[in-house]
Amino acid sequence: MALRINSRSIAFGGEQFFCEHDSEVIGLPMKFGLYLPPQIRYHKVPLLMFLAGLTCTEETFAFKSGAQRLAAELGLAILTPDTSPRATAVPGADTSWELGHGASFYLDATQEPWSRHFRMESWLTEELLNLVREEFPSVAGRCGISGHSMGGHGALTLALRHPGKFASVSAISPVCAPFHCRWGKQAFAAYLGDDRAAWRDYDATELIQSGWTAPPLLVDVGTHDKFMQEQLNIDRLESICRGIGQALNLRRHEGYDHSYYFIATVIEDHLRHHTAQLEV
């Protein structure tokens, strides 16, 4: 599990790393980005894991969000994992942007041939977090999780499925109910098979409705998001959280879409949300 640093650059007094390691869980090399703020010279800092959306890589959020400036001010480390294993040799893994490479949905696949390498939940919640804390001991134990689109789905479900693992949660334009949308049905059928009970275990709205809870949620979405009705199911998340009593701060932003321009617009609020929760 030796760490290889592919690049490191100074940014706002801290350092942006891009790394890879040979994952025992995945069975292939896996890549991730890590921003360490300047405060690590003096004390440990909390960590935010940000999960990117379909077609993205470990570089996308680091390159496009502009998050390092505020992370340096707040003293927050940011971990950006790749969105799936790569070079898996799985037939069809490069056929569609909605399935396979770049489209893991952050779960542990149970169906062949995906189950050989697509074990993202285990990689993220165990192997990767442990590796980062071992190799970068200035990163403290308290960790938050956030994400965009498919990554927003990942942030919500991983926080719900692993109580106590993540002390803060947020999502930007998340796929809230993959059990009920085309993206989710396609991915779940391939990765999890025909047992729809297994699908519910990776649907945030189904988990909340079943009694699972998470730290207070911050969720942002643009009213001009072209995926709002067909794929995101924001209204379903709002209704179920209200009915169950799950704390949710849902904000709809007039005119904004699904792009990284929207992420860059709201990311400051998300970083401040996580910093406040992680410092408690």
Does 203 qualify as catalytic in the annotation? no
Summarised one tens digit per residue, pLDDT across range 231-254 is: 999 999 999 999 999 999 999 999
The reported pLDDT for the residue numbered 279 is: 85
Using CB atoms within 10 Å of the CB of residue 60, give its burial: 0 to 12 exposed, 13 to 18 middle, 19+ buried: buried
Confidence check: pLDDT of 207 > 80: yes
Summarised one tens digit per residue, pLDDT across range 68-111 is: 999 999 999 999 999 999 999 999 999 999 999 999 999 999 99
Superfamily of domain 3-278: Alpha/Beta hydrolase fold, catalytic domain (3.40.50.1820)
- Token code pair at residue 124: 């993220």
- Note the helical H segments in the chain: 60-64, 67-74, 120-122, 129-135, 150-161, 182-192, 196-200, 204-209, 234-244, 260-278
Does 225 qualify as catalytic in the annotation? yes
Give the pLDDT band (50/70/90) at residue 184: very high
Rounded distance between C-alpha atoms, residue 143 and residue 274, angstroms: 9
Q: Do residues 156 and 214 make contact, with C-beta atoms less than 8 angstroms apart? A: yes
Summarised one tens digit per residue, pLDDT across range 149-173 is: 999 999 999 999 999 999 999 999 9
Confidence check: pLDDT of 59 > 80: yes
Rounded distance between C-alpha atoms, residue 205 and residue 184, angstroms: 13
Give the pLDDT band (50/70/90) at residue 140: confident
Q: Do residues 273 and 240 make contact, with C-beta atoms less than 8 angstroms apart? A: no
The one catalytic residue in 168, 220, 225, 273 is 225
The H helix count followed by the E strand count for the chain is: 10, 9
The reported pLDDT for the residue numbered 259 is: 98
Query: Which residue from 193, 195, 198, 58 is spatially nearest to 115, judged by alpha carbons?
Result: 193
The one catalytic residue in 23, 84, 146, 149 is 149
The reported pLDDT for the residue numbered 34 is: 98
- Residues 6+ away with beta carbon under 8 Å from 66: 264, 267
The reported pLDDT for the residue numbered 141 is: 80
Confidence check: pLDDT of 280 > 80: no
Does 269 qualify as catalytic in the annotation? no
Confidence check: pLDDT of 134 > 80: yes
User: How does DSSP classify residue 232?
Assistant: I
Confidence check: pLDDT of 1 > 70: no
User: How does DSSP classify residue 28?
Assistant: S
Biggest CA pair distance of the chain: 52
The one catalytic residue in 258, 270, 273, 274 is 258
The domain locations on the chain are 3-278
User: How does DSSP classify residue 100?
Assistant: B
Confidence check: pLDDT of 2 > 90: no
**What's the mean pLDDT in 47-72?**
98
Which carries the bigger pLDDT value, residue 140 or residue 38? 38
Give this prediction's pTM. Answer: 0.97
Q: Do residues 4 and 93 make contact, with C-beta atoms less than 8 angstroms apart? A: no
